[in-house]
Chain A
Amino acid sequence: MDGNVFVFCETDNGKVVDISLELLSSGRKLAGKLNCKLEAIVLGNDISDIEKQISKYGVDTIHIADDSRLDPYLTLVYSKIVSYVLDKDQPQIVLFGASSIGRDLAPRVASTLQCGLTADCTRLEIGDHLERKTKVEYKDLLLAIRPAFGGSIMATIVNWDMPPQMATVREGVMKKEVFDKNYKSEIINIDLSDLISDEDFVIEVLERHMEESKVNLKEAPIIVAGGYGVGSKENFDLLYEFADMLGADVGGSRAAIDAGFLENERQIGQTGVTVRPKLYIACGISGAIQHTAGMDESAMIVSINKDKNAPINKIADYVIVGDLNEVLPKMIKSFHKQAQ
């Protein structure tokens, strides 16, 4: 396939957000494998320092529209501009973050361009695909890998016949890495004058504010839970750091909550919430029946405990016998080493 790799960069108050930087790094690698260029589309207000923000991720071309009408994000306005650029430049791959903006925008754009869109990917690879029926082999396709069926399957999705190959990618699964701090990008200003019109502004944002979504352990795919064995409120920072890295939430046993290490709404168990995550990592939790009642249906359980006979180990899939203050940093290190 011909064409370059494009990344749609989301901005917030003039700053390109993390997920987009992660995608630039991932896009850089794909472009390297495909021997093509990496291009970014950046829309926002007050983003004149854009080169300083993103060139270093190895961006060859930046398509930019810097205009007060582009803040806040509006679906129709953004989809018109992005569709226009993609239609004109015919990329082979386009990546969006699987954020509330990316998942609102990308499908609208894909529908306009009549191309395929793979949702919420956690891995991207370049590879070949043999079409069973026609026995045709397609080379160097984007293999977009994503969970579906509530996380119980991983599907690899390909699109060989209706370009571009588009995907939204989950936050926190790609590593953001500076490629070359002296990298230079070409800047292309998108001319909005004939592109957007009043009718694209029919939806009016009356109010917008940050609101920490309430703790919702029930929906969390991964939970890092701490017990009395964590020892102190400060030690819980280590659990939060680990959880952030995994895209997990933090919960705890009643003993940890009673000791004041953690807020009430994070209690798991008979008198707290019942959870069924894909992965439950119990740190310094003994596994009293009132606790396990709230988590024993987790698909996979890892227990980190000094005591190899702690009751929780009986329902665990992996048991690490040791001091959590040593084990957790090792796990963080190991994850960094092995993640994509």
Chain B
Amino acid sequence: MCPINKKNNRMKPLKIVVLAKQVPDTRNVGPDAMKPDGTVNRGILPTIFNPDDLHALEFALQIKDKIEGTQVIVLTMGPKRAADIVREGYYRGADYGLMVSDRRFGGADTLATSYTLAMTIKKIGDVDMVLAGVQAIDGDTAQTGPQTAEKINFPQVTYVEELIDLGNNEITVKRRLDKGIEIVKAPIPVLMTVNGTFDKCRSRNAKKLLKYKYARTDTELAREEDFIKELVEQRSYLHIPEWNVEDIEAELSKIGLAGSPTKVNKVESIVMKASEAKILSDSQEDIDLMVGELISSHVIG
């Protein structure tokens, strides 16, 4: 190949934001997981990187492997300890991490969450691609991705399970639908939501683990030992930015509880306790009784 051709083929590096949520591990939910006011009692549950979001990160890293100079930025909104998500992102190959954290964001539904994320993406500026998970395992709505896309005025491609082709200013992917698949070509910029069937995320890289182990937000740093404070001061890449309402220029009426139209009216736990088996006959009455109990406890129906 002649050099001119080579140059023509060189693709423009992309700035990719990966939306990642810290979630309670819903495999360990007990009846005390909710507070009386209907909000989640996050304090008592172990937290993890939302599974779909790890696939979204892998997607971003695959693009970075293909286009030199591409930047991958992990963005998470959440309380202080959500900084774990940014560190995990660094360990697996992200270039930058960013937290949006402010008490005033609390109690947000997907409309307010997507507004907050959209304002942050606008503040980051010049973003070419936003990759989210399809769904978070706690709220389980799969709404944040499409709503964010609408607010930043990007087209959206949901349920992505494979990267097929990457060109200049366009990308082709495979989507997994209820009853089949679809191959679509989208322009860049675009927002995509990534399915759990996308390639598994690469594991932590040992060198990066060492490099970013002491990455901290200012809030975290305040309670750290001196040697970590000094380290972060010397190495600016260890400093995790933490933006608040003012930093992203959000309107107070559109964030947190005030900006959330959906409100939890009631929550019922349907975690079952192991108990003695109920022995029933094959009569219609006995069967009606059981089916009725299964319906009223929301196991079926």
Contacts and interface: CB of A to CB of B under 8 A. Distances in A.
Interface string A188-219: 00000000000000111111111111000000
Nearest to A114: B111
A319 B280 contact: yes
B265 A209 contact: no
Given A104-B158, A159-B263, A153 B278 contact: no
B176 to A, nearest CB: 7
B49 to A, nearest CB: 16
A76 B149 CA distance: 11
Contact of A203 (B139, B144, B186, B270): B186
B298 A111 contact: no
Interface in B273-301: 275, 277-282, 284, 286-288, 290-292, 294-295, 298-301
A110 B111 contact: yes
Contacts of B110: 107, 117, 119
A36 interface: no
A173 B301 contact: yes
B207 interface: no
Contacts of B186: 202-204
Nearest to B172: A206
B300 A152 contact: no
B101 interface: no
A308 interface: yes
A88 interface: no
Contacts, number: 237
Contacts of B299: 278-279, 299-300
A75 interface: yes
A107 B147 contact: yes
Contacts of B279: 308, 313, 319, 321
A339 interface: yes
A100 interface: yes
B184 interface: yes
B157 interface: yes
A337 interface: yes
B155 to A, nearest CB: 5
A132 to B, nearest CB: 8
A316 B284 CA distance: 20
Interface stretch (A51-59, A179-187, A325-333): A325-333
B301 A108 contact: no
A134 B265 CA distance: 14
A14 interface: no
A337 to B, nearest CB: 7
Interface string B227-269: 0000000000000000000000000000000001111111111
Contacts of B26: 149-150, 152
A211 B180 CA distance: 4
A322 B282 contact: yes
Contacts of A246: 300
A61 interface: no
A66 interface: no
A120 interface: yes
A207 B172 CA distance: 11
Interface stretch (B1-9, B27-35, B66-74): B27-35
Nearest to A212: B179
The 8 closest A-B pairs by CB, nearest first: A322-B282, A116-B261, A162-B261, A119-B141, A111-B150, A107-B146, A150-B26, A107-B143
18 contacts: A107-B144, A107-B145, A110-B111, A111-B150, A114-B261, A116-B262, A148-B138, A148-B139, A150-B140, A152-B269, A158-B263, A159-B261, A209-B181, A211-B180, A246-B300, A317-B275, A318-B277, A327-B282
Given A204-B185, A313-B277, 12 more contacts: A103-B143, A116-B260, A119-B140, A119-B142, A143-B265, A147-B270, A150-B27, A151-B270, A205-B184, A246-B300, A278-B299, A320-B286
